[in-house]
């Protein structure tokens, strides 16, 4: 079994709602779920000890976190719910909605505010694009202690092999590229998941002739960090973790 490219298990969540569930097997027991919500389907308001981060991948649905509710359109907005916070979703449209939801146990040392996103924000808008060398176009959903990067690898684009602190989790959206994590290389395609743990080298190469789009979650954030003096650590241990992660 692959350590870095988990296989999904099809699981029934609420009523008619089924999800592909990927378990990463890390210290936070992170679970990535790709769920199809038929028209009219609802995930009733509920709470659990895990944090939950998510967004709409296709179609649209209404998401509630605490007292706030918003319509999430595909790849335009994201949300997160703190462990113990009530949240739920309903697909009020007449087409299926595909959702991405990531659950993980709180890791307070990694969850101090590290980005410009206010700690209390629960709904996150997609940033303007940023182009970096190598033919990558990057956009972000920036949370206080995590970020989700929407990346487009044009044909021939390379994300060179590198390693860093923190967790990086990828979800394939469109197209097909070669993804390498540790010693494993796979074709990375729609609704597949990779996991690059702390310090495990990884790279991506689009060796096809069509663009390839993916989501990449960073915990802690790497691309949208505040200057260190402006970060708010959850506790002293968190300060050390974040300082290390920024190196």
In terms of CB distance, is 9 or 230 closer to Fe ion? 9
Q: How far is CA 74 from CA 27, 50, 96, 97, 100, in A?
A: 30, 24, 12, 9, 10
Q: Nearest approach, Cβ of 147 to Fe ion (angstroms)?
A: 12
In terms of CB distance, is 28 or 232 closer to Fe ion? 28
N-terminal to C-terminal alpha carbon distance within the chain: 32
| Of residues 174-203, those binding Fe ion (CB under 5 A) | none
Q: Is 238 helix (H, G, I), strand (E, B) or coil?
A: helix
| Spatial CB neighbours of 96, under 8 Å, sequence gap ≥ 6 | 36, 37, 38, 39, 58, 59
Return d(Cα 136, Cα 41) in angstroms, integer. 36
Q: Nearest approach, Cβ of 121 to Fe ion (angstroms)?
A: 18
In terms of CB distance, is 184 or 232 closer to Fe ion? 184
Residue 227: is it exposed, middle or buried by C-beta count within 10 angstroms (0-12/13-18/19+)? exposed
| Spatial CB neighbours of 50, under 8 Å, sequence gap ≥ 6 | 29, 31, 83, 103, 104, 105, 106
- In the stretch 202-241, what mask flags binding to Fe ion with x, by CB under 5 A? ----------------------------------------
Q: Nearest approach, Cβ of 207 to Fe ion (angstroms)?
A: 19
Q: Does 168 bind Fe ion (CB under 5 A)?
A: yes
Return d(Cα 36, Cα 13) in angstroms, integer. 10
In terms of CB distance, is 18 or 232 closer to Fe ion? 18
In terms of CB distance, is 36 or 168 closer to Fe ion? 168
In terms of CB distance, is 222 or 232 closer to Fe ion? 222
Among the residue ranges 13-21, 25-33, 142-150, 164-172, the one whose residues contact Fe ion (CB under 5 A): 164-172
Return d(Cα 218, Cα 108) in angstroms, integer. 16
Q: Nearest approach, Cβ of 125 to Fe ion (angstroms)?
A: 22
Q: How many chain residues are in contact with Fe ion, going by CB under 5 A?
A: 2
Q: What does the CA dihedral 196, 201, 207, 213 come to, rounded to 10 degrees?
A: 30
- In the stretch 29-68, what mask flags binding to Fe ion with x, by CB under 5 A? -----------------------x----------------
Q: Nearest approach, Cβ of 28 to Fe ion (angstroms)?
A: 15
Q: Is 231 helix (H, G, I), strand (E, B) or coil?
A: coil
Q: Nearest approach, Cβ of 237 to Fe ion (angstroms)?
A: 23
**List of residues contacting Fe ion (CB under 5 A):** 52, 168
């Amino acid at each position: 079994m692959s350590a870095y490219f988990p296989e999904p298990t099809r699981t029934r969540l609420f009523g008619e709602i089924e999800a592909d569930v990927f378990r990463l097997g890390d210290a936070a027991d992170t679970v990535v779920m790709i769920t199809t919500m038929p028209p009219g389907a609802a995930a009733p308001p509920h709470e659990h000890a895990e944090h939950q981060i998510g967004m709409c991948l296709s179609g649209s649905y209404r998401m509630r976190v605490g007292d706030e509710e918003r319509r999430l359109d595909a790849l335009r907005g994201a949300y997160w719910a703190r462990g113990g916070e009530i949240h739920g979703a309903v697909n009020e449209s007449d087409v299926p909605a595909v959702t991405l939801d990531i659950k993980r146990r709180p890791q307070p040392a990694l969850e101090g505010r590290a980005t410009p996103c206010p700690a209390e924000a629960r709904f996150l808008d997609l940033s303007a694009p940023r182009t970096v060398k190598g033919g990558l176009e990057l956009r972000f959903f920036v949370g206080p202690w995590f970020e989700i990067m929407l990346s487009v690898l044009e044909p021939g684009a390379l994300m060179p092999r590198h390693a860093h602190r923190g967790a990086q989790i990828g979800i394939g959206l469109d197209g097909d590229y070669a993804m390498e994590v540790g010693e494993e290389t796979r074709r990375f395609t729609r609704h597949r998941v990779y996991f690059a743990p702390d310090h495990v080298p990884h790279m991506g190469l689009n060796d096809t002739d069509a663009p390839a789009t993916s989501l990449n979650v960073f915990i802690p954030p790497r691309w949208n960090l505040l200057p260190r003096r402006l970060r708010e650590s959850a506790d002293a241990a968190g300060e050390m973790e974040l300082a290390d992660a920024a190196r």
